[in-house]
Structure 1
């Protein structure tokens, strides 16, 4: 086995944002269960602590450290990354997962919700990159994983702003991949319909009703966690650039 493969298969220090529910929680749980050290960030610290307790009882050899995090606060994200490096000596990967999805028609003029989506889905991603990129550069290695959406590849009614933020997430991550040193890997995972709390943030009745029909067939978040795990487990000279995962019934 090559040195690169040994490093890829070893215990990693992985930071996960938006880890209190849905895909983020599934990713954190999966990676901790595989023996990695996970630093799980989100605003709901109580949920993170529950995840940490479950991880500590699994006997996997990994660990899950809960940290309160607001990705819209640049200083908060910088402190999140810096504290992880200080405590663990390095940061091997950052999973930029935090996101919200309050869908609405443009003529509903839910401008506050648009602003919030831009803050979390785009600025939150950029804050993560800004915090981790210098760390990865100094280490000579690192892995960014962006959780985008199938909305990065198509637009649907009520999804203009949300899809716009996910197009932006895809574009930013692809630009990062092209600009970064080859020692820094970049993966974008675009989930289709997944069971999560995202739909509960929709305040427009028409959009909420449409989403209930749209989500009739949804994946367990564990499927997305598996995709993230696969990308992280590859040898250092293999960069899985993009994975699209959706229910077989989602055509």
Structure 2
């Protein structure tokens, strides 16, 4: 397995992105941490530099919906680190509302951030990877990508389905090359995004979920459900679940 030394993570100031940053720094990797909230990003970077002095930790202010900025930041980071070995498209939001409820603004923002911005990040990463003839693109989708979801999750699930399909299409395009692509489909993992969700027996702790995500990324499979149990066994069930039962999942 190729060692991916220089790793860029978007949405790295909290949640899954922060957890990935901590684990990769502990593995001795060099990191470029990108997010809008630079105060939290800089505090995390200072902590990681102190704990892991052998790792280079860069920070960049980045709004992934500013597509020109995405391309500029990715190229800048590559220049500073010398190469860009892995890009983790992690920035995302989940603020959708039921379709037709008068909140097109929220649904539009969810789709733009989770899908259109993911496309911009994938384009920027693949330009660099094709030039290097090497690299690993990771797209953080969701288990919700497997089906259209009701209520507040409709736009979110649609955006993550698009992100997962985007990753799979790129994987098909670069198959048998040194460029690898992984779509991650996390189930319920405790983070800021899931903080308001009720207690759920399927909810993984941030520690367990974060460890499973990094392990899956390192294996570089085209698709990975995380944690593997229960989400991989549940995936075929999810695909055939009647709409009446699907509605009860909201």
TM bucket by the smaller chain?
0.7 to 0.9
Structure 1 segments, 4+ long, off by >6 Å, are: none
Normalised by the length of structure 2, the TM-score is: 0.84
Distance in 1 of aligned mates of 2:212 and 2:91: 17
Deviation at 1:110, TM superposition (A): 1.1
Alignment correspondent of 2:203: 218
Considering Cα pairs closer than 8 Å and 6+ residues apart, tell me whether 1 or 2 has the greater RCO. Answer: 1
Normalised by the length of structure 1, the TM-score is: 0.84
Larger CA deviation: 62-71 vs 212-221: 212-221
Tell me if 1:186 matches 2:181. yes
Between the two proteins, the alignment pairs up a number of residues equal to 230
Tell me if 1:166 matches 2:166. no
1:69–1:77 CA contact under 8 A, matched in 2: yes
Decide whether aligned partners of structure 1 residues 228 and 62 sit closer, same or farther in structure 2, where only a CA change above 3 A counts: farther
Alignment correspondent of 2:221: 240
Superposed, which structure 2 residues align to 1:124-203 within 5 Å?
124-158=117-151, 159-180=153-174, 182-199=177-194
1:145–1:228 CA contact under 8 A, matched in 2: no
1:144–1:185 CA contact under 8 A, matched in 2: yes
Deviation at 1:25, TM superposition (A): 0.6
2:96–2:110 CA contact under 8 A, matched in 1: no
Deviation at 1:32, TM superposition (A): 1.2
2:65–2:112 CA contact under 8 A, matched in 1: yes
Deviation at 1:228, TM superposition (A): 4.2
Q: Which runs of 5+ in 2 are unaligned?
A: 235-250
Tell me if 1:30 matches 2:11. no
RMSD: 2.2
1:28–1:64 CA contact under 8 A, matched in 2: no
